[in-house]
Amino acid sequence: MEKAQLLARAQEYLQQESDRAFAQEVEHLIAADDFKELEDRFYRDLEFGTGGLRGIIGGGTNRMNTLVVTKATQGLCDYLKEQFPKKALSACIAYDSRRRSADFALATALVFAANGIKAYMFTALRPTPELSFAIRELGADTGVVVTASHNPPQYNGYKAYWNDGSQVVPPHDVGIIEKVAAVTTPKTIDKESAIQQGLLVYLDDSIDNRYVAMVKSKLLRPELIKQEASKVKVVYTPLHGTGAMLFERIMGELGLNVLTVPEQRNPDGEFPTVSYPNPEEPAALKLAIGLGEKVRADVVMATDPDADRLGIAVPDKNGAFQLISGNQLGSLHLDYLLHSLKELGRMPSKPACIKSIVTTELQEYIAAKYQVECKDCLTGFKWIADVMRQLEKEGKTFIYGTEESYGHLIETEVRDKDGISAAALTAEMTLYWRSKGKSLLDRLDESYLEHGFFQEKGINKYFEGPRGMTIMAGIMEAYRSNQPIALGGIPVVHIRDIKTGLAWDVGTAVTRKLDLPASDVIQWKLRDGTMVTVRPSGTEPKIKYYILCRTEASIGLDEAKKQSALKIAAIEADIRKVIDSAK
C-alpha cells in the first residue's frame, strides 16, 4: 500500500477514534515515520472469521480498539433493526480477563443502548458459555463476548452471537459485515443516561444460579457422585481467566475436592505464568501437573481464559501425568455418554452427535457402535450450533458436539463450546470408570483395540504482516492447481475441496457435490484411511494442517503406535517442504 494511502487511512481513523490512548499510538507512528508499522496497522480492516473479530490490541483499522469495537456494534445494531423492524430488541454482553476487555464491553453496551437496544451486561467477567446461556435464558436478540480465547496477551477479540445463543453464521455474518463497512460514526450514550433510561441493565447472580443448576442437571449419575466424590481429587487451573468462580462452585456443590493452582487462580490479562494461556499447550499445564503430582490428584483440568475450552491430564499406572488431547477427550466423552444412555435405558429414538471435519474419525466408529448418527460440519463451533438447529428441525436429539481444539458441548441450553459443563462431565466419567476398576487411559485403550488406533497431529505456521494473507492464498492455490498424488509416501485416493464444494476419487473425472458451506479447506484421504486437511485460520494469520491417522490395532497397540508415528512423520515432512518453500 502506498504511503499516501496509508496516511490517509490513518488520518481518517484519528478523526473517529474516541479513545486517546489508541489515537496517540497512531500519532506517534506518524511522527516517527514508521511506515512498516503503519502498514501493518492499516493495510486492511479486521474481518469476521470463524470466531468473529480478533486481533492485536492497539490503534489502527487492523487492530482491536474502541473504534473497531463500536463500529462492529453499530453495524450489528443496524442489521438487527433491519431484520426485526418492529421488535423491542435486547442484547447480552460479557467479557474476560484480557487487557481492555471491560472497556470494550462497556463501549459495546453503550452503542446498543444509544440505538435503543436494551443491553444486559454482566457486572464482572464471565465465561463465554454463560453468555450463550444468558442470551437464550433472557430471550435476547443478540450477544457479544469480548475475548480472544487462548491467544497471547497482546490480543483481544469480539464474538457476536445470534438470538439462539450461537455465533453468527451466513447470511447474518455477511450482512453484519456489510453494515459495519457502511458505518461512519457509531452512536453512543453516556453510562449514567443509559442506566437511567433502562437501556443498560447489569446482570446479577440469578443467571449464575440458573447456569449452575443447568450444568448439574446434565450429569447422568448423581447418586454415584454423591457416593464417590469425596474419594476423587481434582487439580484445576483457570489460566488467569474466567473459569475459577463457576468451576469451583459447581465442583464444590458436587462434593468434589478441588485444588486450584494458586499462581493461576486470579484473573490477569498479562497471563504471567504462561507463554500461551491455551490448555492445548503442554507448557500451560506445567504448574497444574506439578501440583497434581504433589497431591496425587486423580485428574488435572484446565480451562482457557474465557472457559469455553477444557484440557485434562491423568496419571498413568506409574503416576506420571499424561496429557489427553482434544480428540481423545471428545471420544471419551462420546463413549461415556452413549454407553451410559444405553445402560440407563435413556437413549432417545433419534440420537445424533456432531463433530468438525478435522476431528478424529474414532467418534464415527463409536457412534456407529451405538447406532447413533454422526454429523460432520466445518471447523468452528458456530457450525456445530448450525447443525444442532438442523437436527431440531428434523426431530432428532442432540447428544454431544465436539471439535479437536478442546471444544466440547453436552447441553442444548448453550450453543457454543462449554469448558465448565465438560469439566463436570469429565469428573463424573472419571468416577464411573474408576468404579469399574478402570482409568480414563484404560478406557481409551479399550476403544483403540475395538475400533483401531487413532493418532492426530496438528501443524500451524504463522504468516504475519500484510504479505501473510497472500502467502497463505498462494499455498492453497498451488495445491488446487497441482494436487499431491501422495503424502508421506501413501497414495491419495480421494479429495474434497470444500471451497469449490466438490469431491472426487483420484483417477476419475466424476465429482460429487458436498453438503457443506463453502470454505477454504482441502482434504486428502490416503489409501490407508488417514485424512490430511489444510486450511487458513479464520481468526489468526496462520495456515493449519491436520493429520488424522488410523492404524489397525490387530497388530497390537504398541506396534500400531509405532507405525502411526512413522506415517505421521513422513506426512509432516512433505507438509514442511511446502511451508518452507512458501516462506
Other CB atoms within 10 A of residue 392 CB = 13
Strand order across the beta sheet in which 200-203 lies: 53-56, 155-161, 142-146, 90-95, 118-122, 200-203
Residue 121 near residue 106 (C-beta atoms within 8 A): yes
Residue 372 near residue 40 (C-beta atoms within 8 A): no
pLDDT along the chain (583 residues), means of 10: 91 94 97 94 79 89 96 95 97 98 98 98 97 98 96 95 95 88 94 98 95 98 93 96 97 95 98 94 96 96 97 96 97 98 97 97 97 95 96 98 97 98 97 96 97 95 84 95 96 97 92 94 95 86 94 95 97 96 82
Vertex 408: Cα angle to 551 and 212 (nearest 5): 150
Antiparallel, parallel or unpaired: β 397-403 and 522-526: unpaired
Q: Compute the residue count for the chain.
A: 583
Q: In DSSP terms, which residues pair with 203 in a beta bridge?
A: 122
Global pTM value: 0.93
Q: What is the pLDDT of residue 322?
A: 97
Antiparallel, parallel or unpaired: β 486-487 and 490-497: antiparallel
DSSP 275: S
Residues forming the active site? 149
Antiparallel, parallel or unpaired: β 233-237 and 257-260: parallel
Q: Which domains does the chain have, with CATH numbers?
A: 3-203 (3.40.120.10), 210-218+227-319 (3.40.120.10), 327-450 (3.40.120.10), 452-582 (3.30.310.50)
Q: What is the pLDDT of residue 454?
A: 96
Q: What is the pLDDT of residue 538?
A: 67
Torsion angle (degrees, nearest 10) of CA 485, 488, 491, 494: -80
Q: What are phi and psi of 294, to 5 degrees?
A: -65, -45
Provide the b/e sequence for 33-53 (b: ≥16 CB within 10 Å): eeeeebbbbbbebbbbbbbbb
DSSP 544: E
- The CA-to-CA distance between both ends of the chain, in Å, stands at 21
Q: What is the pLDDT of residue 539?
A: 64
Give the span between the Cα atoms of 415 and 413, in whole angstroms: 7
Q: What are phi and psi of 464, to 5 degrees?
A: -75, 165
Which residue is associated with the grid cell 433472557? Answer: 138
Residue 250 near residue 216 (C-beta atoms within 8 A): yes
Q: Could you please report the per-residue DSSP string of 556-573? A: -HHHHHHHHHHHHHHHHH
